[in-house]
Amino acid sequence: MKSFRKMTYPYVVWISFIVVAPMFLILLYAFTKEGNAVMDFVFTLDNFKKFFVDSVFIDVLLRSLRVALVTTVLCILIGYPAGYFIAKSSEGVKMRWVLLITFPTWINMLVRTYAWVGILQDDGIVNNILSIIGVRSITLLHTEFAVILGMVYNFLPFMILQIYTALTKMDNSLLEAAADLGADRVRSFLKVTLPLSLPGVLSGITLVFLPAVSSFFIPKLLGGGQYVMVGNLIESQFLTSGDWNFGSAISLIMVIIIMISLYLTKKVDKTELTERRAN
Amino acid sequence: MKKSRRIGSKIFMGVLMLFFYAPIIYTIFFSFNSGRSLTHFDGFSLQWYGKMFSDSNMLQAVFYTIVIAVIATAVSTIVGTITAIGLSKSHRILKLIVEQVNNFPLMNPDIVTAIGLLMLFSGLHASKGFVTMLLAHIMFCIPYVMLSVTPKLKSLDSNILEAAMDLGCTPMQALIKVIVPQIMPGVVSGALIAFTMSFDDFVISYFVTGNGVSNISILVYTMSKRVNPSINALSTLIIVIISVFLLLVNIVPSLYNKSKAKSAKG
């Protein structure tokens, strides 16, 4: 149907303008000096130098990576048993659990994150419960703990659903075979279930790490104005200080880090697959 | 031992649900607070609901959110479906290129897409506001529609299309009468995804808007700097609407199937 091919032309024109052009603008600004006149741009690496020379910016980057990493690990530790439990439930109950997990994600992220501000406040419900038990009240809001909590809260459903999907695809007769061959529960879990669910864990990692490292409203709402992550740094370059060149350079650094981590998770996935085949 | 394990996992899931639903219940609870506080419940009142409906900023944000979501969904569903159909008949290289470019907004962090658009719109001297926000929403919605339509197209039997044309259909008629009905489930789920993506978007909207045009997310973000319990009222309203919608989507089909099964039996 050659006549159908023409139907793609408008979209090709559209994405060249609205998807490809902005990416070029980010590259252009990242490698040029200040001044918005595109015609007389000068190539420079100063924007990157500025980032890597100043320890303040390096600290921000390391903090973002640390928070995203802790969030991802926590999501695996909580998400795996949850996904496992749901996958092992009976058919009718399964869908009900999936609905319970997905329902909160339908509600606006900011609205849900904002609720934690009230819960975590010094005179909020958590501290009230603590004081009833007899524990001295602790500052929770505007700490790294609050930021990580907010991220786990927002991104955990993605991890659970990925692991759940991987586990339901698994053929249960494999477990029976393992049991017949003399493996106990722990061994068959480690040798059969865990490797087969690994692709789910890996795509879960992507779905958690990527938004966590670039998030800027969770650190702003729960970490307070003083708590800066890479996302906040980019935001301030574009919306307050107006240094688009530096902002573009930071974005580029972030994208490269994300690409490297995506590549690494993909590689783990592949080596795992080939190893399994070799065995 | 098995029993204790089962109880253990039940407790675990219970705590998890508490974690997921505590903020939602908290929001609903404090929307009925008579005081301003987000931590002390002073008494029952509906004043924040009243304030919400008299707050022109809030009503405007709700209006913009819905209008943009509806237009963006309609446009991206139509364009995305048409493009996906055209692409399924196109050369492999074009397919690959479009797929890769579509991956940019899907895989890039929102903030990167957002600053790219911000620089593009500023470069074009477009005045930021409703139109720029709408264009941005259409931009990130189309890939989701295509992602949900393309698999349906792949599973299509091309013989049926040829048969339709042999029987005298023009390509256009064949498209509307043969292809579109078969890929309809993909189109509908694509539209649903597009709507929720647009409705919930914060980061991209926040960067490309201006001139006082804001959606619900931006409103929550700017209001969070000073406590405004009207947000809780608005959130509660959104939660109720979404619950009703999800209930309908999940329960109506099963009821429908049940009644159909019954009538088939009778």
- Given a cut of 90, is residue B172 above it in pLDDT? no
State the average pLDDT over residues A217-225.
90
Is A103–B243 a contact, with Cβ atoms under 8 angstroms apart? yes
pLDDT for position A39 = 57
pLDDT for position B1 = 52
CA distance A236 to A226: 13
pLDDT for position B164 = 87
State the average pLDDT over residues A146-165.
96
> pLDDT (tens digit, 9 = 90+) per residue, A42-97?
788 888 988 888 889 999 999 999 999 999 999 999 999 999 999 988 888 898 89
* Pick among A32, A41, A114, A160 to test the B interface (most B CBs inside 10 A): A114
- Tell me which DSSP letter residue B126 carries: P
Is A12–B115 a contact, with Cβ atoms under 8 angstroms apart? no
Share of residues in chain B with pLDDT > 70 (%): 95
- Tell me which DSSP letter residue B44 carries: B
CA distance B210 to B214: 8
> How would residue B133 be classed by pLDDT, with cut points 50, 70 and 90?
very high
CA distance B44 to B154: 56
Q: CB-based contacts of A113: which residues, under 8 Å, 6+ apart? A: A150, A153, A154, A217, A218, A221, A222, B23
> How would residue B249 be classed by pLDDT, with cut points 50, 70 and 90?
confident
State the average pLDDT over residues B139-148.
95
- Given a cut of 70, is residue B124 above it in pLDDT? yes
* Pick among B1, B115, B139 to test the A interface (most A CBs inside 10 A): B115
Smallest Cα distance from A277 to chain B, Å: 28
Q: CB-based contacts of B6: which residues, under 8 Å, 6+ apart? A: none
Is the CB of residue B32 less than 8 Å away from at least one CB of chain A? no
Chains A, B: CB contacts within 8 A come to 199
- Tell me which DSSP letter residue A6 carries: G
> pLDDT (tens digit, 9 = 90+) per residue, B63-110?
999 999 999 999 999 999 999 999 988 888 999 999 999 988 888 899
> How would residue B114 be classed by pLDDT, with cut points 50, 70 and 90?
very high
- Given a cut of 60, is residue B111 above it in pLDDT? yes
Is B38–A124 a contact, with Cβ atoms under 8 angstroms apart? yes
Q: Residue B116's closest CA among B215, B200, B204? A: B204
> pLDDT (tens digit, 9 = 90+) per residue, A164-179?
999 998 888 888 888 8
Distances (CA, A) of A237 to A28, A69, A163, B59, B207: 16, 25, 37, 31, 12
Tell me which chain B residues have a C-beta less than 8 angstroms from the C-beta of A148. Answer: none
Upper half-sphere CA count for residue A219 (Cβ side, 13 Å): 23
Q: Are A208 and A71 in contact (CB under 8 A)?
A: yes
Burial of A275 (0-12, 13-18, 19+ CB in 10 A): exposed
CA distance A57 to A229: 9
CA distance A147 to A153: 10
pLDDT for position A138 = 83
* Pick among B220, B227, B236, B245 to test the A interface (most A CBs inside 10 A): B220
CA distance B116 to B153: 32
Smallest Cα distance from B74 to chain A, Å: 15
pLDDT for position A86 = 94
The angle at the Cα of B148, spanning A157 to B179, to the nearest 5 degrees, equals 155
Tally helices (H) and strands (E) across chain A. Answer: 15, 0
CA distance B120 to B3: 61
Q: Residue A39's closest CA among A28, A52, A54, A27? A: A28
Regarding an ipTM greater than 0.90, the answer is no
Q: Copy the structure tokens of residue A144.
A: 């790294």
Helical axes A194-214 vs A230-239, angle rounded to 10° = 30
State the average pLDDT over residues B103-125.
92
> How would residue B247 be classed by pLDDT, with cut points 50, 70 and 90?
confident
Tell me which chain A residues have a C-beta less than 8 angstroms from the C-beta of B220. Answer: 108, 110-111, 114
Decide which of B223 and B68 is more confident. B68
pLDDT for position A207 = 92
Taking phi over 0 as left and psi of -120 to 50 as alpha, with beta for the rest, A134 belongs to left
Q: Copy the structure tokens of residue A93.
A: 């109950």
State the average pLDDT over residues B163-179.
87
State the average pLDDT over residues A148-172.
94
- Given a cut of 90, is residue B209 above it in pLDDT? yes
Q: Residue A242's closest CA among A23, A60, A36? A: A36
Q: Are B141 and B76 in contact (CB under 8 A)?
A: yes
Smallest Cα distance from B136 to chain A, Å: 8
pLDDT for position A156 = 97
Give the residue carrying structure tokens 């919306």.
Answer: A239
pLDDT for position A37 = 55
CA dihedral in degrees (A150, A168, B144, A71; nearest 10)?
20
> How would residue B21 be classed by pLDDT, with cut points 50, 70 and 90?
very high
- Between A32-36, A81-85, A110-114, the lowest mean confidence (pLDDT) is in A32-36
Looking at this protein, which amino acid is placed at residue B180?
Answer: V
Looking at this protein, which amino acid is placed at residue A189?
Answer: F
Task: Please name each of the domains of chain A with its CATH number.
Answer: 46-278 (1.10.3720.10)
CA distance A205 to A262: 9
If residue B213 lies in a helix (H) or strand (E), which one and from where to where?
A: none
If residue A215 lies in a helix (H) or strand (E), which one and from where to where?
A: none
Is A19–B101 a contact, with Cβ atoms under 8 angstroms apart? yes
Tell me which chain B residues have a C-beta less than 8 angstroms from the C-beta of A10. Answer: 79, 83
CA distance B20 to A96: 15
Task: Please name each of the domains of chain B with its CATH number.
Answer: 58-227 (1.10.3720.10)
- Given a cut of 90, is residue A234 above it in pLDDT? yes
Share of residues in chain B with pLDDT > 90 (%): 46
Is A109–B202 a contact, with Cβ atoms under 8 angstroms apart? yes
CA distance B149 to B183: 7
